[in-house]
């Protein structure tokens, strides 16, 4: 029985040849992502902004102006409305008084009863409240978690290999994180704690993909000390390409099913992860590996002897 092969044997794709195009594309996308976050901002969920969020499902797509007028006429504060993929589903955000659970319950009761009168058949699927103090702590902790993850992985790569690997890893991960943030700024999908978890998962996926390629590059640098660095990186990326493609495709299929059938609660997480798989694979193959050339990495930097305890003939990934 023949095994499924998504990449033919002895593949020889010239990834390094198009590195300058990849660098320019990466720079443009990164600038666009930063601009999107700076101008449009993120649609922060109630986890981060605090307040009351009521999620309602209408029998049919409602006129948002009528919904807003109905709620604002209750005197409970200025409402913020957002429709999701299903035009019948509307997220309603309202300010709430700190530490007054009774007032919060009263607001929920007013809003629900008024909307039920105006829109018979409406269902309320979710109600969340977060205080301003807690939301501020969540923002700080979320940002700190992402920053520590990025720097920690870059330092590990630096210590594990050479400083060039650490720098290229840092650039690739920052690119992946910014692409995710830019996507949420453009689409205005809700950015909550689930998305922070997705960003951290993307960082882990990206570094796992990159470490496989980096390890093969380092191994080939010991074996082929006289080989041109461009050819050596192309060889290393092509040798690990079957693993990269197989992993990315299987994860993509699983996340696609989660996006289609996971419901609204998991939609943002699934979309972030799908994007992360694509940009993580792209940055590992086209950006971080080729960046090693620009950073001056050469095969002569490594000794001929393999790592202690590792046989000379041992290889990682598919045999060629």
Where exactly are the structural domains of the chain?
16-43+135-301, 51-130
| pLDDT tens digits for range 181-211 | 999 999 888 887 788 888 888 888 888 888 8
Kindly state the tokens that stand for 28: 């443009």
The strand ranges marked E within the chain are 43-44, 51-57, 80-83, 89-94, 123-130, 190-191
Domain 51-130 CATH assignment equals 1.10.10.10: no
**Distance between CA atoms of 7 and 284, rounded to whole angstroms?**
17
Architecture label for domain 16-43+135-301 = Up-down Bundle (1.20)
pLDDT attached to residue 314: 40
**Distance between CA atoms of 262 and 267, rounded to whole angstroms?**
7
pTM over 0.85: no
pLDDT attached to residue 293: 85
| pLDDT tens digits for range 287-313 | 888 888 888 777 655 554 444 444 443
**Distance between CA atoms of 282 and 130, rounded to whole angstroms?**
37
| pLDDT tens digits for range 130-151 | 665 555 676 777 778 778 877 8
pLDDT attached to residue 84: 66
pLDDT attached to residue 1: 38
Strand partners, 82: 91
**Distance between CA atoms of 86 and 72, rounded to whole angstroms?**
23
pLDDT bucket at 179, cuts 50 / 70 / 90: very high
pLDDT attached to residue 182: 92
Indicate the average pLDDT of the chain.
Answer: 79
Classified as helix, coil or strand, 61 is coil
Kindly state the tokens that stand for 124: 């309320």
């Amino acid at each position: 029985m023949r095994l499924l092969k998504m990449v033919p044997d002895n593949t020889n794709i010239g990834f390094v040849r198009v590195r300058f195009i990849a660098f320019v594309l990466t720079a443009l996308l990164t600038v666009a992502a930063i601009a999107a976050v700076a101008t449009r901002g993120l649609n922060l969920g109630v986890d981060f902004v605090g307040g009351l969020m009521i999620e309602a499902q209408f029998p049919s797509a409602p006129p948002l102006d009528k919904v807003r007028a109905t709620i604002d006429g209750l005197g409970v504060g200025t409402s913020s409305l957002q429709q999701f993929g299903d035009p019948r589903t509307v997220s309603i955000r309202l300010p709430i008084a700190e530490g007054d659970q009774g007032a919060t319950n009263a607001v929920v009761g007013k809003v629900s009863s008024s909307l039920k009168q105006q829109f018979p058949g409406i269902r309320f699927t979710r109600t969340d409240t977060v205080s301003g103090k807690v939301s501020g702590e969540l923002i700080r902790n979320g940002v700190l978690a992402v920053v520590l993850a990025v720097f920690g992985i870059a330092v590990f790569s630096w210590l594990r290999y050479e400083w060039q690997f650490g720098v290229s890893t840092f650039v690739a991960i920052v690119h992946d994180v910014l692409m995710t943030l830019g996507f949420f700024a453009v689409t205005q999908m809700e950015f909550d704690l689930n998305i922070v978890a997705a960003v951290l998962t993307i960082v882990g996926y990206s570094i796992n993909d990159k470490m496989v390629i980096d390890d093969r590059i380092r191994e080939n640098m010991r074996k082929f000390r006289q080989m041109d660095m461009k050819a050596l990186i192309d060889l290393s990326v092509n040798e690990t390409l079957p693993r990269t493609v197989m992993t990315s495709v299987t994860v993509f299929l699983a996340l696609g099913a989660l996006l289609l059938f996971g419901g609204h609660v998991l939609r943002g997480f699934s979309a972030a992860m799908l994007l992360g798989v694509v940009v993580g694979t792209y940055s590992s193959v086209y950006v971080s590996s080729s960046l090693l050339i620009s950073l001056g990495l050469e095969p002569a930097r490594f000794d001929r002897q393999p790592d202690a305890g590792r046989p000379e003939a041992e290889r990682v990934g598919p045999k060629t």
